[in-house]
A and B are shown apart, each in its own frame.
Chain A
Amino acid sequence: MSLQVSELKVYYRTLKGEVRALDGMTFELGDGEILGLVGESGCGKSTLGKSLIRMDGRMRHVGGTVVLDDRELPIGDDRAMNDFRFREVSLIPQYAMSALNPTRKLRRMVTELLRSRGAEVDTAELERRMDQVGLPREVLDRYPIELSGGMKQRMVMVISTLLDPSLLIADEVTSALDVSTQKAVARALLGFRESGYIKSMIFVTHDIALTHHIADTIMVMYAGRLAEKAPADVIVKAPRHPYTKLLLDSLPEVGVRHADRRLEGIPGSPPSLLDPPAGCRFRARCPIAGDECAQDPPVAELAPDHHVACWKA
């Protein structure tokens, strides 16, 4: 197993109290596996991504462990995490368009960054990887402002994976891109795994359709907890958790004329994580909720590799 996360709890400190953004997440990620992490805004998927590499100042590691390649990650200790960042865990951030220092030429920036981590730039290797994502070599002698959004994104992808990290976290990398660029990015990420630049990846997104194309496994989160985790095909074709079903139902389908059949959303909104209600957190919006849902549903492996947290599944 490449990554083992158990009972991970990460809370945000706010003036009103603690927001339980991650409340006991447990999952595993195999070598070479791409995990698609989906869920609506505020479900904790970005928090999970951040927790694995760098927590921001308001986040607090409350409990649980993260083990990567048999070594425990000191995720609560910003300084100790530095040894793992970039080399073991790396990140393609949500803000890839603005992630590069605007006043440094890229070659110089990459050199300075690698040198600060005690590595030398292998120009041949760097250029090979740029070729792979379709970036011309002269990009290295330009400033970030001279690149298009898609080029900046690809440059960040190349930089983030230069030290061959074991785990790559791709946080909403396709959100700001148009569809054809999304496809290119997805293909480049798959190429990185094939070439062995990264071992495994967590792909955080809202876009279930795109995730289905590139992820081996999809994990659906709801209100800071795992709802369902299964191979990508199973999630899309045979979901067991009512939330996953409703989430898929709210996607437009090819060939369906929505003038005839209204596209349904999920009524209601997620509970506040400031003081979440006891029991299943989806209970208030769930069409099939019953009395047993007042108890916390455990995550059960209903079929091989198919984990569901629901009493009714």
Chain B
Amino acid sequence: MRRYFSRKLLIYGLTFFVAVTVNWLIPRFMPGDPVASMVARANVAQPEAVEAMRAYYNDLFGFDQPLWQQYVNFWGAMFQGDFGISIWLFPTPVSTVINGAVPYTLGLIIPSVLLSWVVGNRFGAYAARRKLLDNTVLPVGYVLTAMPYMWLAVLLAWALGVIAGLFPVAGGYSFSMRPNWSWTFALDLLHHWTLPFLSLFLVALGGWAIGMRNMIIYELESDYSNYLSALGAPARLIRRYAFRNAVLPQITGLALQLGVLVAGALVTEIVFAYPGLGSLILKAIQNQDFFLLQGTFLFIVLGVLIANFIIDIVYVVVDPRTRAGMAGAQA
């Protein structure tokens, strides 16, 4: 058990290191100079003043140091919880900017991932034993799961937002409001949350339902199901066993899909101008905000790794075969 988890932790640590390094590299390979654009924003005409500002900012952000020094400083600062200062929203610290956006992203991703997984599994299992449902749900599921998130998002915004006028198509809350603890504001939040949630939920739902349907059919034809039927066990018991066993690959699927789901959520946020990490990344790229970009990426990498680790633990708890595997068994 301990060997299993220490190996897992080592792999996660390595992944974290590589991912963070890449995150640090990407902004620096982007064309353009953030300091130049900051100076341009200030609209200063005198060459001496421009030179002074440039020197000041380069020193402030550490761009005057050699690249390797910047890289080492970056790791050092990160472990002290210092992610730097945003260039776009200068002089707000990156951590403050991210803190403002994280609740929106988590509020979108967690319910849509979990709900689509649970509902999709139930639905797929149910469809597997109704011919009529199977013949209608399956094609719909394939269409849904093949859709890019942002395309469904655009469709939903157009149909339910623009044409039907049921939901707002942009923002996390109405522009006329200020965030506060009141029912009106909570309702407004929910109202704005519905469309982005739906577009994430529906696309993922189709995939889970199809996977579950196929797994259930496989499990119901397996030897243990046949044996139980031969002993006259009621269909309810057999289905319960089949469902439990069919869920296991779906858990693995969840771990594998997590990165894709998060990426989809980020793009969907941009479509709906939802004030989460996705919109933040877009802004950071547009403004060549290295530090904000690094910070958001770091946060996403951490989130995905932690979620994967939780799934690993869940898997060990629900499937006795992984525990046997830890002891060195092959089955």
Contact = CB atoms under 8 A, between A and B. Distances in A.
Interface of A: 53-54, 81-87, 90-91, 93, 95, 98-104, 112-113, 116-117, 143, 145-146, 156, 159-160
A-B pairs with lowest CB-CB distance, top 10:
A85-B232, A99-B227, A98-B223, A86-B231, A95-B223, A82-B232, A143-B320, A54-B230, A101-B224, A116-B237
B196 to A, nearest CB: 37
Contact of A104 (B227, B232, B241): B241
A141 to B, nearest CB: 12
A145 B320 CA distance: 9
Interface of B: 222-224, 226-234, 236-237, 241, 244-245, 248, 318-321, 324, 329, 331
B321 A102 contact: yes
Given A113-B237, A143-B320, A145-B324, A85 B222 contact: no
A160 B231 contact: yes
B interface: dominant SS:
helix
A87 B230 CA distance: 11
Contact of B245 (A53, A99, A103, A117): A103
Nearest to A104: B241
B233 A103 contact: no
12 contacts: A82-B234, A93-B230, A98-B222, A99-B223, A100-B224, A100-B227, A103-B319, A103-B321, A116-B234, A116-B236, A145-B329, A156-B227
Nearest to A105: B320
A54 B229 contact: yes
Given A93-B226, A98-B223, A103 B234 contact: no
A87 to B, nearest CB: 8
Contact of B228 (A81, A103, A113, A146): A113
A313 B229 CA distance: 42
Contacts of B245: 101-103
A143 B321 CA distance: 9
A113 B231 contact: yes
Nearest to B331: A145
Contact of B232 (A86, A93, A99): A86
B235 to A, nearest CB: 10
Given A99-B227, A101-B241, A83 B222 contact: no
Given A98-B223, A113-B237, A145-B331, A103 B232 contact: no
A83 B234 CA distance: 11
B232 A112 contact: no
A85 B230 contact: yes
Most buried by A among B222, B230, B234: B230
A102 B232 contact: no
B140 to A, nearest CB: 27
A112 B227 CA distance: 14
Nearest to A57: B221
Contacts of A156: 227
Given A102-B245, A116-B234, A93 B227 contact: yes
A93 B223 contact: yes
Contacts of B241: 101, 103-104
Contacts of B248: 103
A90 B227 CA distance: 10
B192 to A, nearest CB: 42
A93 B236 CA distance: 21
A52 to B, nearest CB: 10
B324 A91 contact: no
A146 B223 contact: no
A132 to B, nearest CB: 20
Most buried by A among B227, B329, B331: B227
A100 B319 CA distance: 15
Contacts of B222: 98
A98 B223 CA distance: 6
Given A93-B223, A95-B223, A112-B237, A103 B230 contact: no
Contacts of B231: 85-86, 90-91, 113, 117, 159-160
A49 to B, nearest CB: 10
Contact of B244 (A93, A100, A103): A103
A45 to B, nearest CB: 17
